[in-house]
Amino acid sequence: MESVEVLFSNLEFYDVATHEWKNLDGYQKKFVSKALEKIEVRGSEIGEPLGNKRNIDLTGYRKVKLR
């Protein structure tokens, strides 16, 4: 499977995320890919806004649960 940056070129990834992607097995990559596809297509429509909590500013980021 290709790198996460190639598969989802419209999204930005931290270095740690790309490293973690490499360590996932085939099933896990398939599972995470489905969620990333939704994010790529629907963007800010999915997930819960995180905001500024406990002095950590995560405004602009969203929480997405994988099931």
pLDDT tens for 28-55 read 999 899 888 888 888 878 888 988 988 9
pLDDT tens digits for range 56-66: 999 988 888 87
Q: Give the count of domains, the chain.
A: 1
Residue 3: which of 31, 33, 37 has the closest Cα? 33
Tell me which residue range forms the domain holding 30.
4-63
3-state helix vs strand vs coil in the chain, percent to 5: 50, 20, 30
Does the pTM surpass 0.95? The reply is no
Whole-number Å distance between alpha carbons of 41 and 23: 25
The residues near 24 (Cβ < 8 Å, ≥ 6 apart) are: 32
